[in-house]
Amino acid sequence: MTIMIPAWVNGTLTQVEKLKAHEDGLRHQAVSVFVMDGTKTLLQQRAFGKYHTPGLWTNTCCTHPQFGENPAACAVRRLNEELGIKGLFPAHRDRVEYRADVGDGLTEHEVVDIFVAQAPSHLEIAPNPHEVAATRWVDLYDLKAEIERRPERFTPWLKIYLTDHSASIFGALSKA
């Protein structure tokens, strides 16, 4: 199945095949979500069958919206599709742009709407094995230290978010 995502080609937002956007390093739309429980965030390990960054740890959910899809609606949809999480309505925290090599000649050049949601005490998680290999909760302070020690275990965008955009994403928690 060919997946189309919104990307800018010659200054115009259009639909482009997802793999082509990454092969050509095209600037494209994306959504990232952090689900929090106090100072802990829910991480996912990307499924080993993913065509880029398989097996790496990343934020709760990251994806590309469908063409014309509202980023907030995309965040809610993908929390359910990737992790079986229902009933959360993440708050928009920032829009950032980054460019990162993700290996095998592929480049992420994303304009990302970043969302944060607070997890209720009874949050149920049912990861989709085609998307997610594992999940874990980790304190932001411990996550930053772990990334410093073992950066190769994490996606480039997670490292960028924590290094360059932590204050706008996590607010006072970024001081953790």
Active-site choice (69, 74, 110, 124):
110
Total residues found in the chain within this entry: 176
Calculate the CA dihedral of residues 5, 8, 12, 16 and round it to 10 degrees.
-30
Q: Is 110 a catalytic residue?
A: yes
Q: Where are the alpha helices (DSSP H) in the chain?
A: 18-23, 71-83, 140-149, 156-164, 166-170
Distance CA 30, CA 9 (A): 16
Catalytic residue among 61, 62, 74, 108: 62
Q: Is residue 131 annotated as part of the catalytic site, yes or no?
A: no
Could you tell me if 33 and 117 are in contact, meaning their C-beta atoms sit under 8 angstroms apart?
A: yes
Cβ count within 10 A of residue 127: 17
Active site residues: 62, 110
